Structure 1
């Protein structure tokens, strides 16, 4: 049972609005956006968000293989080189407290995606990381 209610008050509504705006702005397929959120949620250990983003990724047309293997994005042939750069950036931003954002990872993303799309990926990652922290702190499973 949750110890806190992150859905109470104006914060959740504002975060939901922000999340929708970020997702709508992202020039990426919705399935890939959901895989990014899934991978960040896996790293953060947010069971609730992992389950949610598995379902959303499949609903958005992602294959079961890509959903099942998103943690192995570096070596799995189901992911393109561009997607690998996106996942590398997502992991680096998610682990910012440990490593800051790796300069080579950021530069590679900007070179491949351009500054605008790279910033969109960073926003997707920032928002899901905030939701992960809210759900984990509240003990939502």
Structure 2
């Protein structure tokens, strides 16, 4: 298939539409993880920050828009969202958020050194076993959604005002 230049979205296989049952199962998994997070007492804004950070790393504009809107609707500040890529240098995040963001980066960038013992230990200092497992599943899930959206080139058009 010879193409001169980038492929258009129309030329891409839309993974969710082509295999809807697989996508529905992933959506059901994501919903279950959301219930587990709520039941474990994980802060809803922390969940959105984790999903935003993974989406930033993966360059997934579609998921980034979804989770940014959710975070804003929950009262997240634009300053904290703007500083998210530089969270280590910004004194805006709690110890739990910092541990979750480090874990997010380690799982998302697993080929860059795996989840180090240091990151694992720091996460376990602030998250109990259920919280850690739930956050890890959430990170795995958003990474799957990111990869589907990026592969299928989900467009993010300007919104109507």
Query: What are the residue-to-residue correspondences of 1:26-45 with 2, within 5 Å?
Result: 26=37, 27-45=41-59
Provide the aligned length of Structure 1 versus Structure 2.
141
Task: Give secondary structure in 2 for the equivalent of 1:7.
Answer: helix
Distance between the aligned counterparts of 1:136 and 1:49, measured in 2?
9
* Aligned-pair Cα RMSD in Å: 1.3
Query: What are the residue-to-residue correspondences of 1:1-141 with 2, within 5 Å?
Result: 1-2=9-10, 3-8=12-17, 9-26=20-37, 27-141=41-155
Distance between the aligned counterparts of 2:49 and 2:98, measured in 1?
12
With normalisation by structure 2, the TM-score equals 0.82
Larger-Rg structure: 2
- Ranges in structure 1 where 5+ consecutive residues have no aligned partner: none
Question: Deviations along 1:18-73, whole A, 9 cap, x unmatched?
Answer: 10110121132222211110000000111111112111111122111111111121
Task: Give secondary structure in 2 for the equivalent of 1:11.
Answer: helix
